Each structure stands twice: as C-alpha cells, then as structure tokens.
Structure 1
C-alpha cells in the first residue's frame, strides 16, 4: 500500500518527492508496521506491552524532522538576472532551503539541483554561506563594480530561524551599510529583522533600504499549516510598525493569493498593514512550478480535502488550463476572470486606504563608497 501524505510537526510539506533530475525513482511503501506496534500476542518475558499512548508518542516522534545544516562553499555571492518582470538585476541569498516551510514556495524546485527533494528536504536540509560577508566585500571592491540595488531574500528568506545563531544576513547588512549600498528586502522573519533595525534605520537615512514584509494570512491556524515556522501574523504587523517608526519605508506583500484559501482576506490584510505603517503594497498569485504543484496538491489533501478540487479548478482557470504557466508578465498575476477580480479588488482597496498613493521610494546609489581596506594607505590632506 502506498503511503498517504501525513503532516510532520513544524513542517509545511507533507511529502518528500524526488527531484526532477534524479535518475533513480523510489516508491515509499507503508507495510503496516507503524500500525501494528502493539501486538495481539502477550509480550515476551522482560518485554513491556505498549500502551496506545506509547504508540502515539512513538509515531509522533518519528514525524519530528530535525533541521540539518551544511556549508555552501560559494565562490561569489551576488546573483544576476535579466528577467523582464522583476524590478531588480542583482540579488543575494545567504541560504539554500528555508526552514519557514511555506508549502507554496516557488523556490523549492531549486533543491533538485542539489539532488535533494523540493519537499521536506527543502525545509530540513539547509545550506548556508559562512563567507557571504567576505565575498560581498570583495565583489563591491572590484574596480569595475557599478552599484545598483541588491534584492535580499529573492529566493529563500534571509531571516529564517537558523539566522538567529548563524548571523549570515546580519554580516551582509553590515557590509552594505559600510559601503552605503542600497538594498531591498523581502521577508517573513519578523522577529529577526527586528534585531537588525539599528542597521536598517541608519541606511534609511540615506535612502538605502526598503523592507517588504509578506503577510499571507491573519489567521494563526492557517499560518501554522501554510508556513509553519514563519513569524506569526501579529508579530509581522508589530515589526512593520517598528520599522515605520524608525523611518524605514515598509511595503506589505499579500503573497501568494491562494484561491478559496486566503483570497477573502485580501482587504483585511491590506487594512491591517496600513494601520501598522505600510504605505506600499503588492500581491502575487499562487505559483506552482515543477515539484511545487505536487507538494501543494498533497497539502490540500491533508489540510483542506473538501476544498481541494475547487481550489485547483480556480488555479487552472487562471493558468490557461494548467497548474502553472511561467510566461513573463503573467506568471505573477495570472489571467482570466478570477485573476481580473483579484486585481480589481486590490486596486480598489489600495485606493481606499491610500496605499501606493506615492511612487515607490527610489533607492539611492549616490552615497556608495569603497571604505579603506585593511592595509590600505590613507591619503593625507594636502
């Protein structure tokens, strides 16, 4: 019998499918062993019988998957792209994989390049770049480098839980602050970004930073299954207020919009974010590239089985009859009647609240400077 998807404590994915580049395929089988721990036969001499509570505790422990850390021996730290429908050309990702465990994350398929699963492996087998700050400083010091703003968190979250003890993102920010280099940030890791408000406030005084905080839902119960280890919705709103009060421009990202799951919250999320100090907003429709479509369908089967068919029907309606269409220009918004309704609701809510009433802040490159390095001779005034 093929094993059915099951939730794992603190994890978003319910399955761990193989990556699309692996040459061997393995099929997990449930042989009933976990359901027959308690035998109908009396225990052998010296062997205690297992109670129902013992069995339940044993099976629960088996579902608790620890986080494993691996070093990513990167040779460069800035990634460049030419995608026509995103506003940045440079990005930095301190981590591969993300412990937040958002089941819908479009970055999950990248784990297949490591011969790992985009499922549970993506949120339990994390790769970090210990030399990130040193590599960044070396790139910024190159004579031919021309500053343009860098996106931090374009793929995986730079303020995911392991950042608390590794501090990779903090080191990157310290380098950017010393070089007065502009950065745009996207995160759900509100608790840890609060730790770094001192750096962000300093950079904001020179128009060097903008922070976009993603709020997918205001419902804590839905958050726990969709993005189990991300900050609570109320915490994200509190940190928006702290950032705004510190002079840091704040955007709310209602992302992703999931049909029949969180779409009814669009206006409430924008209202709460505006009250918390956000003055700009954006949204992105659910994207299901490669293995994510399988992961999301399995998540629906476990958590929202009665809604699953309707959710996927609406998804395919806005993707030309497919689970996903990666075409530039429409991949973020979708097409068709449902996508048009969401776009209209978003515009109406923003107009009513005053969100996006002013142009987006322009991140400045005017203050960029290369500070003296160790061993550099300091020029004396004439």
Structure 2
C-alpha cells in the first residue's frame, strides 16, 4: 500500500530521483500523513533506505513482438531500480505490486535469485529457438544490488556455457567486473554492450539520475569495453526537450571517440505515473522552464504527455521530433556510426551436457 505524505509538499531527497511516493494507478487504498495544524514547520525528510526483497520467479525469459524493439526476448533479474532515474519508463510496473512508482520503485527492489536456474531450464527445452537475449530492457542489470547478488553475472555464465548471444544496456561501471566473460563471448559473436549516456553535464546527471555513474565514468566504460573487442553502442536517452536535447551531437561525438560503433536515441517517454512524477521533478529543479519543457513534450506526442503507439513511442511526431531525428541522422553519418549491421551469431547455440548426462563418443 503506497503512503503519500501530504504534510510535506513533493521535495527531492538526497540520492533519490522521485520527489514523492505517488500512489500507483491500481491502488485501492492510500495511506496519507496529514498536518493536523499543530505542526509549525515542515517535517525534515529522513534518509530513505533501500529494501531488497527476494522474489521466486516462475519464468525468466520475457518475449515480445513489438516492431519498434530490436529484440524478441529479454531478462530482467531485478524489479525496481536503485539508480532512481526520474524519467524511467519502467516505474509504472511497481503499481502492479501495490507499490508506488515513485520512491518505492527506487527503494524497494525485488531480486530473482533463481533466475540462472530458470534460464538454464528454458535453454534446454526442445522447442527453444535461439535468438539474442537482452539484459537491461526495463531496469539496469548492473544496479548497485548486483554487486552483492551477482545474478546478472550468473546469467552470463549460463549463456556462455550455452553459447547463447546476449545484449546489455547499462549506466553502470559494474559491467566491467564481467569483462572477461563478455570479451570471450564477443570473440565468438555472442555479446554486445550499450551504455546509456543521457548528458555530459555532471550537475544535471546528479539531479536526473542520482545513483548512476557520472558521464566521464560511462565514457571510460565504453572505452574499456570497446578496447576488449566487445561491439559497443551508445544510447543517447532520453532526449528531453529544452533540457538535454542540445547535447545530442556532443554525446554521440564523445561516445564515438570512446570507441562506440553504434548509436541510438529515444525521445522522453512519460507513460502512466511517470508524467506526474516528472512534472514534480521539473518543479523542484527547473521551475522556470517546466512549462516550456512539457509544451514541447506534448507537441511531440499529439498534444498529450505520452502516446504508446509503436510507430511513435520511441521518437515522437511533430516539428521538434522530426528535427531531433534529422540531427541524429546527420550526426551519425558525420561520425561514421551505424555503418555496419550488428549481427550476433545464433548458430553457435549448443546446450552443454546436463549434470550426470553422459556425452556421446561420436
């Protein structure tokens, strides 16, 4: 059950992205703290600790047929994300667990310790058809909790044994912990990594993505991955009108210098509860331009905060969206990005003998 604090107005907490615990759209009951009139000053906001909750998953591979996504199956070893990115389009998923897409999303994290076991079972099924598995499609597989839980690491170890191709999207330097595995897989055409770089401005990063690696650290991560022979991409996302969209060319250029061969961008997405949470964030940090930002967002979404149509949810429509798309095309051509098509090798897929299973001599 979500708890909203109406005694204090929405206010940013240090190290957190959301400014409130906005109730989810499915909440049937909401607990509110009210000021009874005796409180003369606003209550100080205490430190919000992260709670990790074990979740026993029943399946681990999610399939999709969305025409605007470059993958057909994915794995998310965590629900919720401690990185606390204000704009995260995965926030509404916490509403399904009767939790807030706001602060709950970044402080109540569910982890799936049986994910590696479920993956191995799925890959051994006779009807399994190999295609690349994407890690990090909803929440970051290398968020802080991964340092202790090592679920992503174990998933990679299973994929390496099965010669299962994998793609990863992250904002974290922690991916470098698994560099030896990824480098070996990349030699066989089985691994590709993308680093999301939203801004090169440290101040904006701290406000927008409070618990992520800084811009310079992400570029060094790209450089290290590329230097190890792993095909790398930069994801300039999200592009937020009148906030960071002016950095598009700079982000792409810096990533190309760091070794990125591929690039993509996404226009800001504000599904469900993300829209009011983002508005609260704008009022907290950029009240002078909040109206302008949202006006450009709505101009790119047919007058709404968000449109979920496959044809436009990633790039939007309208003058601003078209200009952003043209700028991206010009930039990648000038920088020599996306010159070749990245194709991972599904032909190498080969389940190893199961424990206790005797190998054939022929």
Q: 1:34 to 1:272 in 2, by over 3 A?
A: farther
Superposition TM-score, scaled by structure 2 size: 0.96
C-alpha distance in structure 2 between counterparts of 1:20 and 1:276, whole Å: 42
C-alpha distance in structure 2 between counterparts of 1:152 and 1:254, whole Å: 18
Question: Are 1:241 and 2:223 matched, yes or no?
Answer: yes
Residue matched to 1:89: 72
Q: 1:260 to 1:31 in 2, by over 3 A?
A: farther
Question: Are 1:276 and 2:281 matched, yes or no?
Answer: no
C-alpha distance in structure 1 between counterparts of 2:147 and 2:54, whole Å: 16
Residue matched to 1:46: none
Superposition TM-score, scaled by structure 1 size: 0.91
- Which of 93, 100, 107 matches 1:117? 100
Q: 1:261 to 1:205 in 2, by over 3 A?
A: same
- Which of 168, 188, 192 matches 2:151? 168
Residue matched to 2:139: 156
Q: 1:117 to 1:336 in 2, by over 3 A?
A: same
For structure 2, which runs of at least 5 residues remain unmatched after alignment? 1-5
Residue matched to 2:351: 370
For structure 1, which runs of at least 5 residues remain unmatched after alignment? 38-57
Residue matched to 2:122: 139
Cα distance, 1:81 vs structure 2? 1.2
C-alpha distance in structure 1 between counterparts of 2:322 and 2:203, whole Å: 28
Deviations 1:113-157 (A, max 9, x none): 010000000000000000111110111111111111111111111
Deviations 1:261-314 (A, max 9, x none): 101111110110000000110000000000000100000010111010000000
Higher Cα radius of gyration: 1
Matches within 5 A, 1:223-372: 223-359=205-341, 361-372=342-353
C-alpha distance in structure 2 between counterparts of 1:198 and 1:356, whole Å: 25
C-alpha distance in structure 2 between counterparts of 1:79 and 1:339, whole Å: 30
Runs of 4+ in 1 over 6 A off after TM superposition: none
Secondary structure at 1:372 match in 2 = coil
Secondary structure at 1:127 match in 2 = strand
Residue matched to 1:49: none
C-alpha distance in structure 1 between counterparts of 2:39 and 2:72, whole Å: 50
Secondary structure at 1:210 match in 2 = strand
C-alpha distance in structure 1 between counterparts of 2:37 and 2:118, whole Å: 51
- Which of 65, 70, 85 matches 1:102? 85
- Which of 180, 203, 220 matches 1:198? 180
C-alpha distance in structure 2 between counterparts of 1:222 and 1:264, whole Å: 13
Deviations 1:176-221 (A, max 9, x none): 01101001111111x2101011010000011111111100001111
Residue matched to 2:3: none
Cα distance, 1:256 vs structure 2? 0.3
Cα distance, 1:372 vs structure 2? 1.2
Q: 1:20 to 1:206 in 2, by over 3 A?
A: same
C-alpha distance in structure 2 between counterparts of 1:34 and 1:8, whole Å: 21
- Which of 19, 22, 32 matches 1:17? 22
Secondary structure at 1:251 match in 2 = strand
Query: In the alignment, is the contact (CA less than 8 A) between 1:10 and 1:64 conserved in 2?
Result: no
Q: 1:270 to 1:131 in 2, by over 3 A?
A: same
Query: In the alignment, is the contact (CA less than 8 A) between 1:251 and 1:280 conserved in 2?
Result: yes
C-alpha distance in structure 2 between counterparts of 1:97 and 1:11, whole Å: 13
Give the length in aligned residue pairs. 357
Residue matched to 1:52: none
